[in-house]
Structure 1
Amino acid sequence: MKISNSSLLAHFQSATGVCTDTRKIQKGNMFFALKGPNFNANALAEEALAKGASCAVIDDPAFETGENTLLVSDGLKALQDLATAYRNTLTIPIIGLTGSNGKTTTKELIFSVLSQQFHCFATSGNLNNHIGVPLSILSILPAHEIAVIEMGANKQGDIKELVDIAQPTHSLITNIGKAHLEGFGGESGVIKGKGELFDYVSAHGGIVFLPKEKNIVHQMSEERQITEVVLANSAMPTDLLEAKPYIRFSCADKTVVQSHLPGIYNFENIQMAIAVGKHFGLSDAQCKEGIATYQPTNHRSQYIKIGSNQVLMDAYNANPSSMQAAITHFAETDNEPKILILGDMFELGDLSAAEHEALGKLIASFSFEKVLLIGEHMQHALTHLPKAFYFPDKFGLHNWLQDHPIKSSYLLVKGSRGIQLESVLPFLAND
């Protein structure tokens, strides 16, 4: 017999949390057996129970083993429905955040700022999809006073699915850029898809945070006639002093804040985090502390000293917009010699060749000591970079680096997540 949503919620409220990975089961967890193209976790239900799970939610009756296996029609939908039901029991502010670039950094900055005063929850890592958002909602504890939920999307309809689960009271779109163009069907599709967050606000009410400089995000808010808005320039006034290598800015009281974030493109993310903090009643001093103490991690805008080299590791993801921003910032820094290690930008569809060629043209407008390009799509950048070193895959790059050690240099490493270019780090550790 299949279990009802209300019964699932009762099981969850007596459990110690939710888990979808038997390798991470903790005693008392609910285990959700999800299916994918290459796996069927229903077969792991018995293992999860043996490891201490309070129950296992399955959608295949062949794996029922007793009262601790709870049968549902669809495991993923049951997880999402449970998250929605649990969300409806929460009364805290929930900030829903999306955007083409910078959403994870902005989420982490907001978390760092709000944590100066509140017991704050934020999406862990990159759990921002149709599985990650439900898991995030279900990780909010009764003690949490505010939550920041990151939402990612590959196509139109994705954000709508996530906001219907998270039901944000406050919303923020970092920017609109050239990301996941294949799934969205071009830039207009990106605008429509990301705009699903503001569609929710328009239909259900809530507050929208908008950047200081008027841009397409402002237009998206105006088109939906959203009136409850907080502008970043109405918060603590800030003036950018420098961004080489790290952002340093001054405040209205003449104090100066030194951050650990590189690149002028991150200054708007800082301003947005301050706007959120001020809206929720934090003092200027608390906002400054939240920004100053934030340290980038997970290979996002992260400086790493390895051997005699200094690496700006920004290899968590890449699209034309973020590539342009990162390369331009890197070119404008004072350090020499500068070397680029760049991997393919994925999910660009029919625009891939043109976007990679345009990237090559951008790189050619600067003077870099070396340019190392990796991946099938990057060959299109060679049109404008006849002296660049090209490798069909990162393993060819690894071999080349072993034979041609790079020392005492300043490097930007960036590429799409699928390439995992952080693998080059051991090959840059030359004394």
Structure 2
Amino acid sequence: MNIKNIYQLYINSSGIETNSKKVKQGSIFIALKGKNFNGNQFSKEAISNGALLAIVDDKSISACEKIIIVDDTLFFLQELASYHRFQLRHIPIIAITGSNGKTTTKELIKVVLFQKYKKIHFTKDNFNNHIGIPLTILSMPKNAEISVIEIGANHEKEIEKMCSIIKPDYGYITSFGKAHLEGFQSVKGIIRGKLELYHFLKKNKKVVFVNGDDPIQLNESTGMNRYIFSEKKKSDIKIKYLWKESHLESILYIDNMKVCSPLVGNYNLHNIASAISIGIYFKVPIEKIKNAVEKYIPKNYRSQIINRKNMKIIIDCYNANPTSMIKSLTFFNNNIKGNKISILGDMLELGLYSNYEHEKIISFLEKSNINITFLIGEIFFNAKLKTSPKVRKFINKEKFINWIKKHPFQKIDYVLIKGSRKIALESIIDLI
């Protein structure tokens, strides 16, 4: 059975599922494999749970009417997504990638475009990798007016591969930062990886949105069909950022119109500006853009503010890398006045750079005006750099939880919580 025939079955199915326990009646189960799981083992369970079809790549499984064997199920999933995208090639897709701010930017773009388009398709949850992106594409309905797809990557050539599936018509790179250094090997590798989006857009004569105040974006997009937002005069959209004036909000001006976002942290200003610029490009009325941005309240532990007792908790713990960590701490140090503490978790996937980057954070904290910082995780705990009483280390979250139960915070105005996703620091919020 070829991809065209299976696609016809997919069109009439209730969707794709990779978890046998979540199979819906009439869905197609694709048996993916990972380090700790093998979906092939659950193909019969998927059928018994109502799957119309099970796609497997284990040759020891007997093929039958409801079980199809392919060479590689991940490759098949990606090919099916590519075929679906070709059928819906009339739907414009905006691809978003970058080291920091991808999801926040995607969400802002989504709420801005909702002011004009009512049928927007977009990446949900964290479906932004080599498995999540094909599943996202396959979820795109034929009546979608526009789509916003987030691309995550932890090594070179990954964005190139994802672009071959997504086939974006527009693209934007949020930033080039020290994320996934273990896979990219170096900052230069990170830049090369992110620029794979530019290469696709340039080759296919598509449009790139460019932050004109980022020299890498500006230089690398030369000769492309680009739409630039910047504080500089030579840009399509002129923006003025209020870097120093912002406190627990982000403020900027488009022409003479003030936009005040509840997103905490001036490091979010470029994310907001990109969404506004993309909205203007797609002819969303400017007043509606302003309204959408000002009403957008972040969630999923990204730049959120929670009022607890007499303190404000800034939660930015969906993920962390050296670039996003230092930006958050710099903002917290320079812009937030009062008694303040920070609770930081290990930054993961840094490879050989790990100890060096964690020690740089500790050095910053020692010189900062943050009253006390609690560092959680084995990497911070084992850092050889000596610390003063204003920096306290805990080898794991459980040790910190035991400590905080005995020593509740008092007379604290602000708390910043930030760490990598696997540390899951949001679980300590109720203890503060």
TM-score band, normalised by shorter chain: over 0.9
Tell me which residue corresponds to 1:268: 270
Tell me which residue corresponds to 2:134: 134
Tell me which residue corresponds to 2:417: 413
Give 5+ residue unaligned stretches, structure 1. Answer: none
* Aligned counterpart for 2:300 among listed residues 298, 301, 319: 298
RMSD over aligned CA atoms reads 1.8
CA contact (8 A) 1:306 1:425 kept: no
CA distance in 2, matches of 1:100, 1:189: 12
Q: Alpha-carbon deviation of 1:303?
A: 1.3
CA contact (8 A) 1:83 1:134 kept: yes
SS at match of 1:243: coil
* Aligned counterpart for 1:53 among listed residues 26, 51, 70: 51
CA contact (8 A) 1:247 1:267 kept: yes
Q: Alpha-carbon deviation of 1:159?
A: 0.8
Tell me which residue corresponds to 1:112: 111
CA distance in 2, matches of 1:381, 1:141: 50
CA distance in 2, matches of 1:312, 1:27: 42
SS at match of 1:304: strand
CA distance in 1, matches of 2:343, 2:12: 50
CA distance in 1, matches of 2:170, 2:370: 43
CA distance in 2, matches of 1:287, 1:231: 18
CA distance in 1, matches of 2:52, 2:295: 39
CA distance in 1, matches of 2:134, 2:97: 16
Query: What code does the residue aligned with 2:122 have?
Result: A
* Aligned counterpart for 1:369 among listed residues 368, 371, 379: 371
Cα 1:305–1:382 shift into 2, 3 Å: farther
Query: What code does the residue aligned with 2:19 have?
Result: D
Q: Alpha-carbon deviation of 1:109?
A: 0.6
CA distance in 1, matches of 2:385, 2:58: 53
Tell me which residue corresponds to 1:194: 194
Cα 1:246–1:423 shift into 2, 3 Å: same
Q: Alpha-carbon deviation of 1:61?
A: 4.2
CA distance in 1, matches of 2:19, 2:263: 33
CA distance in 2, matches of 1:411, 1:136: 36
Number of residue pairs the alignment of both structures matches: 422
* Aligned counterpart for 1:29 among listed residues 22, 27, 30: 27
1:384-428 Cα deviation digits (max 9, x unpaired): 632211111111111111111124531111111121111211321
Cα 1:79–1:281 shift into 2, 3 Å: same
CA contact (8 A) 2:228 2:237 kept: no
Query: What code does the residue aligned with 2:327 have?
Result: A
Query: What code does the residue aligned with 1:159 have?
Result: I
Cα 1:370–1:144 shift into 2, 3 Å: same
Query: Which stretch shifts more, 270-279 or 381-390?
Result: 381-390
* Aligned counterpart for 1:231 among listed residues 228, 231, 235: 228
Cα 1:92–1:188 shift into 2, 3 Å: same
Q: Tell me whether 1:279 sits opposite 2:281 in the alignment.
A: yes
Query: What code does the residue aligned with 1:413 have?
Result: I
Tell me which residue corresponds to 2:314: 312
SS at match of 1:265: helix
Query: What code does the residue aligned with 1:103 have?
Result: K
* Aligned counterpart for 1:70 among listed residues 68, 71, 74: 68
Q: Tell me whether 1:391 sits opposite 2:391 in the alignment.
A: no
Q: Alpha-carbon deviation of 1:9?
A: 1.3
Q: Tell me whether 1:341 sits opposite 2:338 in the alignment.
A: no
Cα 1:26–1:304 shift into 2, 3 Å: farther
Q: Tell me whether 1:41 sits opposite 2:39 in the alignment.
A: yes
Tell me which residue corresponds to 2:249: 246
Give 5+ residue unaligned stretches, structure 2. Answer: none
Tell me which residue corresponds to 2:405: 402
Q: Alpha-carbon deviation of 1:72?
A: 1.4
Tell me which residue corresponds to 1:219: 219
Q: Tell me whether 1:324 sits opposite 2:321 in the alignment.
A: no
Query: Which stretch shifts more, 382-391 or 106-115?
Result: 382-391
Cα 1:66–1:306 shift into 2, 3 Å: farther
Query: What code does the residue aligned with 1:157 have?
Result: K
